[in-house]
Amino acid sequence: MSIFARGLGISDPEIGFIVAAYSLALFLSSLIFGRASDRYGRKLFLVVGLVLSSFAFFLQIFARNFLGLLLTRVLAGFCVGIFPASLIAHVHENKKDLSKFSSFGSMGWTLGLLMAGLIAFYLSIESVFAFSSLLFIPAFLVASKMRVGEHHSVNVPVLPVKIIKKNLPLYLSVLVRHSGANMIWTFWPLFLQTLGADLFWVAVIQAINGATQFVFMYTLSPRIGYASSVAGGLIMAGVTFFSFTLAANFWQILPAQVLLGVSWSLLYVGGLRYLMDRNVEKATVSGLFDSALSLSSIIGPLIGAFVISFGGYTTTMYLASVLAFMGFLLFRFLKRE
């Protein structure tokens, strides 16, 4: 998205604002529909969310300036936030392994990034939007045939303060860590281009992260206690973000992507297990988890757009490393309290 936006003549601070606006829409959507899924059932929001996402992602083809890209990204963010909480709650309620489920999500990211790199390299970035829109259709067809058991409505307040306080150690630590991460990801493809990577290698580098997540989530992460998993993921993230600043060319980023994949696997799967095992409001707590990630995607790009004006891309990485370690300290302290 950042490379596409740069091609439209959009500046780095404006790119940061677009990413933040997308994440704000995703934050609100996750908050609203996570709670709604606990009250009214899973399948409705899963099916509707997939259909609307297909439509919204296709509209991005027509963006030709700052305002057009801003509006289509806000719509895409809101639509894609409708269904994840319902899907995660459905998986847990059917006694499926959350680690293996999450690993297939990571494999989807990996394949998507590789396909996006090839399509953008040989056709155009606009073609990536069309292809991503098409991929929602088979997902919708599978979801529409999915069997869902009888739903037992859970009454959740509009603002679930008690639920937030109960899970605050995780939500706050993830918010802090991921705010730093999103300072980096907002400009990540542009940073990789300064190291000599073309569109294909930008995709490959990001796909290594996803492939590592798939392998680690599927094989090892279920064997680690969820508290240790979250703490380990936060520490490893701090080390990884700092290591980015040492790269002199894009080849040197490759090993760090493996470390990044392991760190996110530990944090994400450990976080989901932490929430699912401790709460009956499955979709609500999952939606709040997604909302914390989305809120960090608002805070991070806005701070990054400010920081990058003074120190360049590596400055965001130093700050992100500090924030990841702060997230670890917050998790350990608040969990003990």
Domain ranges for the chain, please list them. 2-145+160-336
2-145+160-336, what's its fold?
Answer: Growth Hormone; Chain: A; (1.20.1250)
**pLDDT beyond 80 at 6:** yes
The arithmetic mean of pLDDT across residues 169-190, rounded, is 90
Q: Are 86 and 36 in contact (CB under 8 A)?
A: no
The confidence band for 176, taking pLDDT boundaries of 50, 70 and 90, is: very high
- Separation between Cα atoms, residue 11 and residue 318, nearest integer Å: 22
pLDDT at 146: 81
Q: What contacts 223, CB < 8 A, 6 or more positions away? A: none
CA angle 59/74/299 to nearest 5° reads 145
Q: Which pTM value belongs to this model?
A: 0.73
The arithmetic mean of pLDDT across residues 300-314, rounded, is 82
- Separation between Cα atoms, residue 168 and residue 261, nearest integer Å: 24
pLDDT (tens digit per residue) in 61-114 = 999 999 999 999 999 999 998 888 888 888 877 778 777 888 888 888 888 888
Q: Which of 90-94, 156-160, 194-198 has the highest mean pLDDT?
A: 194-198
- Separation between Cα atoms, residue 76 and residue 53, nearest integer Å: 6
pLDDT at 149: 63
**pLDDT beyond 70 at 145:** yes
| Alpha-carbon dihedral sign for residues 134, 86, 23, 188 | negative
Nearest one of 294, 288, 82, 269 to 166, comparing CA atoms: 288
Q: Of residues 294 and 73, which shows the higher confidence score? A: 73
Give counts: helices (H), strands (E), the chain. 14, 0
Mean pLDDT across the chain = 85
Which stretch of 63-77, 119-133, 205-219, 275-289 has the lowest confidence by average pLDDT?
275-289
The arithmetic mean of pLDDT across residues 148-164, rounded, is 67
- Separation between Cα atoms, residue 328 and residue 1, nearest integer Å: 30
pLDDT at 244: 93
pLDDT at 12: 77
Listed in order, strand segments (DSSP E) in 259-329 are none
**pLDDT beyond 90 at 313:** no
